Amino acid sequence: MKTPVHACRRNQHFIVLTMMILGVLIAGDLSSAMGNDAESVIFVRIPNKPDGQPGIYYEPFMYHFGRSAHVRGSQIVRLAPPAPNGRLTVLTEDFFGVEEPELSWDGKKIVFAGKKTAKDGWEVWEMNIDGSGKRQITRGMADVCSPHYLPDGRIVFSSTRHVAMTPERNRDEYDRDHARLAHRCNADGSHVEQITFNVSSDSEFIVMRDGRLLFQSWQHHGMRFHTSGASAFFTMNPDGTGFIDFWGNHRGGFRWKQREMPDGRIVFIDSVFHHCYGGGQLAMITPGDPDDPKTLDVLTPDVKKYGPDSPGGRYRDPYPTEDGRLLVVWSPKPAWSGYRNPDGPMVKYGIYWFDLDRRKVGQPVYNDERYQSLNPIFVEPRPVPRIVPDHGIEPEKKTGTLLCLNAYLGQLDKEAFIQPGQIKKVRIIEGFGINDEDPFFRTFPPGIGYSSFGSSSNSISNFEQKRVVGEVPVEEDGSFYVEVPADTVLHWQTLDENGMALQDALTWAWVRPGERRVCIGCHEHRTTIPDLSAVPLAARSGPVQLDPPPEERRTVDFRRDLTPLIESKCVRCHNDREPAGGLDLSHGNELVYQRTAVRSTGASAIRAAVFNRAYLNLSAAANAKLGKFIYPGFARKSPLIWRLYGHSFLYDAPVNQCPPDTPLSDEEKSLFALWVDLGAQWDNLPGKDEYPSYSRAESAKLAREHDRKILPLQTDAVAAAEIRCSECHDLSRVLAQRKTPPQWKETVDEMAAKRANWIKPQEVDLIASHLAKITTQAGLIRNWKICGPFDNSGGAGIRTVLPPEQTIDLQASYRGKGKRKAVWKSVTLDNPTGILDLEAHFGRLDSVTGFAYTTIESPREQTVYLRVSGDDMFEVIVNGKKVVQRLVPQPFEYDKDVVPIRLKKGDNRLLFKIHDFVGRWRLRARLTRSSSPASPAADVGLSVKVAETKP
């Protein structure tokens, strides 16, 4: 098959000549042969490693725990015609490694990231499509990926060059020194200019036909998408102005490899995590309303986005041709970095046509078992996108302006929580990657509840280091106008009258020097046009200047600012002798060694946390005895702050003030509030840390000591399970697993085999039986009387004392939400989970409050522990006394809150008031003897009665 094609190429001149002589008569016959040959595809192939494993960990924008994502031995090759019998030419024989070729608009040149020799860095290179004329474009860019031609002849690429330029913020949020950010340069490599500013990485740029850059930005900020961040599509002008989300920013997950189809649709790879060798589902979006799910068209629903199994294999790197065909990279076996296969790589990425009609992988183009083949581009001229001219950038300026037309405008959830007039100010905050001296201290404590993957030793939460650029007033019409430092990683918070954050922007953004950025609101629907009937009030008097020199930008560091305050004001009551409320804040700056782990990723990821006791206890996770004190990023929500102010800001209700006799000064209180709003950080001082911490050697020593302490054989089942399992697993989550006792045995056996030095063989049965026991829903309350629905619009149900709270009369009928009657109903739960689903009884409702009631008989006066999961919020009234208020919406999680309650001898009335704003409306409650999850209340003689009428 190869020969005729070759012959055809060799004879090309002759044929052209013949055509000229013979005229048009035979042109039809020849053109098909010519067309075949003229077509070619260029791609990257990477040899598998000598051990047979794939040679890729291939999301070039990221490193994996210090290892480069780049690979050696990768080649750019050309295949003509694009078919298995095509002729293959290696274009970069003489390179150490190459990546991500992109075609020029005329289809004649290629720009790519390349590393010439082992000693060189990764730089932008260019060559002709036949491999001739290689030319190094950039120099000294540190580490380059994702180069792409711009329509004006310049080149955009992603690079770590800025690391050297701004050492203070040179790390990303994982303390890796290589956030890759967008740069552009002239065709000859001159005039390199950084155009994106992010704590994490921006990469994979394409130029849409309208001239905007569409790229994927990894956005990590605090608790965004359960801490791992997300990569979504953003657009900006090629000069770095007008950065705005395009699609996917509100969904979580990871998506990349985007390309624009000739009809304007965007084809891309939808994934949930970066462990699939860049692979995932093939999907398309029609640019439109980002919140309209109809715009997402999943082309390959048989592909699972996550994990080692996927019936449809896994896709990556789609590339549309001008006539609407689609090249893809596909592996019949799912690619998954967590699994190794002794028989060679599971992942076999080859290049295929995608059959858009049948929505299946089509004809193969190139597939060689020895290689992973990636990044195909179809060689053809393409229409040059519009040139979006540089606009308004004044390089000599140090600032840009930001005018927001209406900070109240946003998406629905916000309108429900923020009342007109409530936003008084906006706080502009600068972000940094973490910069620890010793990377060993990228530690991973359990976090504050959301976290499965903490980020840094700077904090038990997941926030980057931040400092406050300043605050700007918000006018009555919601507008604000501010001049801020340019080319700086920024985000903002809307503030209430106490200067606490109402909302926290979860995307990092920036303005370019001289840019005049105007926003409609905060995350308004992007297909909605502004609606003003007057010039915004803030614009009438010019921007508020907020450009203090870096050293004057304020921050709160727990050690520097709060520890002294706690020592002088709090320790009197909250000490280790008689900790008030069980909260011990003593021992000042004495560091506590806490060994912990990244859950579910095994021993290698175990890290140490070194904080003081006050920090650990204040930021304790939700399943601690006393519930949460703080919600990082949300002072208004945080009970600690309520205590200090004597007021619950979320529900506008008084609470007991702390300290009771000598309240903190306003300034001190606001310091705590700011600390929480900025993410409740331990170390929030950008740059080199002056505070004492453990060295790597010291930490290793402590780790050994720690292990010695807890390694002795455990004979108590509770202790064994807690010590052995909770290193990596959250035991409250284990409760959700519906395993039988033999399955638990199997699981624990498996773990013991994996970590022989950790779980002793003698402990296996103990642990397994304990786990089996606690997953039998010990002490679960299954008999309820329920009443509802009452109105909770805007928190009405929380503020109002409803009749069942005063007297429980199971025959009574109340005026409920809307025109409904609220009466008591009996419910006996026979579902395995023991979840009381109030919507099943009252209908799918939002903004409602309801009651669940039961009686408990206790043989004596005693303290027992309620383990409650409430959705969204709940209060507990025991014998007519409100003992618990959990008024912060939080995810429904088994045994989320552990609440000690005092029972009297005889019958005890237990009333739950359950509030719902949006979504599900549920309750699950267990009674346990102690704070340990597996100590059924029956052990202490409690019996749950079917609630009966009590006059």
Partner 1 sequence: MNRFACGCIGWAVLTCSLAVGSAMAQVDRSPYQLAVSPDGMWIYTANRTADTVSRIDVKQGRVAGEFPAGKGPVGIAVSRDGKRVYVANRLDDTLSVMDAASGKKLGSVATANQPYDVAVGPRGTIFVSCLGKDESVQLIDPQSLSVVATVPVDPNPRHLLVSADGQQLFVTCDAYSPTRWVDVIDLAGRKVVDRIPMEMTSNLRGMAQVSPKVLMVAHLNPNPFTPLTQVQQGWVNANGFSFVFLDGREPRQVMLLLDEFTTYYANPYDIAVTPDGRWAFVTCGGVNEVVVIDLKKALQLVRKTAPHKRGDLRRRLSLSRQFIAARIPVGTNPYGIAISADGKRVYVANHLGNSVSAIDVAAREVISTIDVGHAAELSTLRRGEILFHSATICFQRQFSCASCHPEGHTTGLSWDLEDDGLGNPKNIRSFRGVKGTAPFRWQGEAAEIGANECGPTVSGAMRGQPLSPPDLEALARFVHETPLLPNPYRGPDGRLSQAALRGKKIFEERAGCAECHTPGRFTSGERVSVGLGRGRPGDLVLPNGETIAADEFDVPQLLGVWDSPPYLHDGRARTLMEIFTRFNPEDEHGSTSDLSEAELRDLVEYLKSL
Q: Does 528 bind partner 1 (CB under 8 A)?
A: yes
| Whole-number Å distance between alpha carbons of 152 and 155 | 9
Considering only the C-alpha atoms of the chain, give the largest distance between any 2 of them, rounded to a whole number of Å. 112
Stretch of residues binding partner 1 (CB under 8 A), selected from 121-129, 449-457, 529-537, 610-618? 529-537
> Of the two residues 196 and 406, which places its CB atom closer to partner 1 in the complex?
406
Q: Does 520 bind partner 1 (CB under 8 A)?
A: yes
> Of the two residues 411 and 862, which places its CB atom closer to partner 1 in the complex?
411
Which residues, numbered 275-304, are part of the site for partner 1 (CB under 8 A)? Answer: 287-289, 292
Q: How far is the CB of 387 from partner 1 (least distance, A)?
A: 4
Q: Exactly one of 109, 251, 516, 613 binds partner 1 (CB under 8 A); which one?
A: 516
Stretch of residues binding partner 1 (CB under 8 A), selected from 109-117, 204-212, 628-636, 699-707? 204-212
Q: Exactly one of 73, 84, 211, 900 binds partner 1 (CB under 8 A); which one?
A: 211
| Whole-number Å distance between alpha carbons of 641 and 891 | 21
> Of the two residues 145 and 519, which places its CB atom closer to partner 1 in the complex?
519
Stretch of residues binding partner 1 (CB under 8 A), selected from 388-396, 456-464, 498-506, 846-854? 388-396
Q: Does 513 bind partner 1 (CB under 8 A)?
A: no
Q: Does 813 bind partner 1 (CB under 8 A)?
A: no
Q: How far is the CB of 483 from partner 1 (least distance, A)?
A: 11
Stretch of residues binding partner 1 (CB under 8 A), selected from 158-166, 521-529, 588-596, 810-818? 521-529
Q: How far is the CB of 153 from partner 1 (least distance, A)?
A: 13
Q: Exactly one of 88, 535, 700, 756 binds partner 1 (CB under 8 A); which one?
A: 535
Helix, strand, or coil here: 870? strand
- Nearest CA to 909 out of 866, 948, 856, 862 is that of 856
| Whole-number Å distance between alpha carbons of 332 and 347 | 8
Beta carbons of 862 and 940 less than 8 angstroms apart: yes
Q: How far is the CB of 260 from partner 1 (least distance, A)?
A: 11
Q: Does 405 bind partner 1 (CB under 8 A)?
A: yes
Report the DSSP beta bridge partners of residue 826: 785
Q: Exactly one of 111, 156, 388, 914 binds partner 1 (CB under 8 A); which one?
A: 388
Q: Does 711 bind partner 1 (CB under 8 A)?
A: no
Two structure tokens written together for 384: 């040059």
Residues 6 or more apart from 498 whose CB is under 8 A from it? 636, 645, 649, 670, 673
> Of the two residues 483 and 722, which places its CB atom closer to partner 1 in the complex?
483
Q: Does 261 bind partner 1 (CB under 8 A)?
A: no
Q: How far is the CB of 76 from partner 1 (least distance, A)?
A: 31
Q: How far is the CB of 764 from partner 1 (least distance, A)?
A: 58
Q: Exactly one of 3, 117, 541, 604 binds partner 1 (CB under 8 A); which one?
A: 541
Q: Does 746 bind partner 1 (CB under 8 A)?
A: no
Q: Exactly one of 165, 532, 756, 918 binds partner 1 (CB under 8 A); which one?
A: 532
Report the DSSP beta bridge partners of residue 114: 98, 123
Beta carbons of 268 and 326 less than 8 angstroms apart: no
**Within its chain, how far is the Cα of 45 from the centroid?**
31
* Helix H or strand E encompassing 911: strand 906-916
Beta carbons of 342 and 322 less than 8 angstroms apart: no
| Whole-number Å distance between alpha carbons of 929 and 639 | 26
What does the DSSP assignment read for 735-786?
Answer: TT----HHHHHHHHHHHHHHTTTTS-GGGHHHHHHHHHHHTT-TTB--EEEE
Per rule CB under 8 A, count of chain residues that contact partner 1: 42
Q: Exactly one of 242, 318, 320, 449 binds partner 1 (CB under 8 A); which one?
A: 242
Q: Does 264 bind partner 1 (CB under 8 A)?
A: yes
Q: Exactly one of 527, 545, 715, 793 binds partner 1 (CB under 8 A); which one?
A: 527
* Helix H or strand E encompassing 921: none
Q: How far is the CB of 266 from partner 1 (least distance, A)?
A: 11
> Of the two residues 515 and 839, which places its CB atom closer to partner 1 in the complex?
515
Q: Does 540 bind partner 1 (CB under 8 A)?
A: yes
Stretch of residues binding partner 1 (CB under 8 A), selected from 183-191, 400-408, 678-686, 814-822? 400-408
Q: How far is the CB of 545 from partner 1 (least distance, A)?
A: 13
Q: Does 359 bind partner 1 (CB under 8 A)?
A: no
Q: How far is the CB of 793 from partner 1 (least distance, A)?
A: 19
Q: Exactly one of 324, 542, 660, 941 binds partner 1 (CB under 8 A); which one?
A: 542
Q: How far is the CB of 397 from partner 1 (least distance, A)?
A: 11
Q: What is the DSSP letter of 405?
A: S
Q: How far is the CB of 789 from partner 1 (least distance, A)?
A: 24
Residues 6 or more apart from 549 whose CB is under 8 A from it? none
Strands (E), 261-407: 266-271, 281-285, 296-298, 314-320, 326-331, 350-355, 360-366, 371-378, 399-404
- Nearest CA to 601 out of 759, 729, 446 is that of 729
> Of the two residues 533 and 811, which places its CB atom closer to partner 1 in the complex?
533
Beta carbons of 480 and 409 less than 8 angstroms apart: no
Q: Exactly one of 93, 168, 531, 948 binds partner 1 (CB under 8 A); which one?
A: 531
Q: How far is the CB of 918 from partner 1 (least distance, A)?
A: 20
Q: Does 727 bind partner 1 (CB under 8 A)?
A: no
User: What is the torsional sign of CA 71, 320, 6, 83?
Assistant: positive
Instruction: Quickly count: other Cβ atoms within 10 Å of residue 191's Cβ.
Output: 9
- CA atoms within 13 Å, Cβ hemisphere of 891: 12
Beta carbons of 47 and 370 less than 8 angstroms apart: yes
Q: Does 536 bind partner 1 (CB under 8 A)?
A: yes
Q: Exactly one of 30, 187, 387, 671 binds partner 1 (CB under 8 A); which one?
A: 387
> Of the two residues 149 and 336, which places its CB atom closer to partner 1 in the complex?
149
Beta carbons of 258 and 268 less than 8 angstroms apart: yes
Residues 6 or more apart from 116 whose CB is under 8 A from it? 94, 95, 96, 136
Q: How far is the CB of 538 from partner 1 (least distance, A)?
A: 8
Q: Does 397 bind partner 1 (CB under 8 A)?
A: no
> Of the two residues 166 and 411, which places its CB atom closer to partner 1 in the complex?
411
- Nearest CA to 384 out of 208, 556, 184 is that of 208
> Of the two residues 29 and 263, which places its CB atom closer to partner 1 in the complex?
263
Burial state string for 406-440 with b = 16 or more CB within 10 A and e = fewer than 16: bbbbbeeebeeebeeeebebbbbbbbbbbbbeebb
Q: Does 400 bind partner 1 (CB under 8 A)?
A: no
Q: Are strands 906-916 and 821-828 parallel, antiparallel or unpaired?
A: unpaired
- Nearest CA to 794 out of 814, 817, 821, 820 is that of 817
Beta carbons of 81 and 40 less than 8 angstroms apart: yes
**Within its chain, how far is the Cα of 652 from the centroid?**
31
Q: How far is the CB of 532 from partner 1 (least distance, A)?
A: 4
Which residues, numbered 464-483, are part of the site for partner 1 (CB under 8 A)? Answer: 481
Stretch of residues binding partner 1 (CB under 8 A), selected from 515-523, 722-730, 865-873, 938-946? 515-523
Q: Exactly one of 517, 628, 773, 915 binds partner 1 (CB under 8 A); which one?
A: 517
Q: Exactly one of 74, 271, 401, 693 binds partner 1 (CB under 8 A); which one?
A: 401
| Whole-number Å distance between alpha carbons of 766 and 719 | 10
Residues 6 or more apart from 951 whose CB is under 8 A from it? 809
Q: What is the DSSP letter of 562?
A: I
Q: Does 398 bind partner 1 (CB under 8 A)?
A: no
Question: Where along the sequence are the contacts to partner 1 (CB under 8 A)?
Answer: 208, 210-211, 237, 242, 264, 287-289, 292, 386-389, 391-392, 401, 403, 405, 481, 516-518, 520, 525-536, 538-543
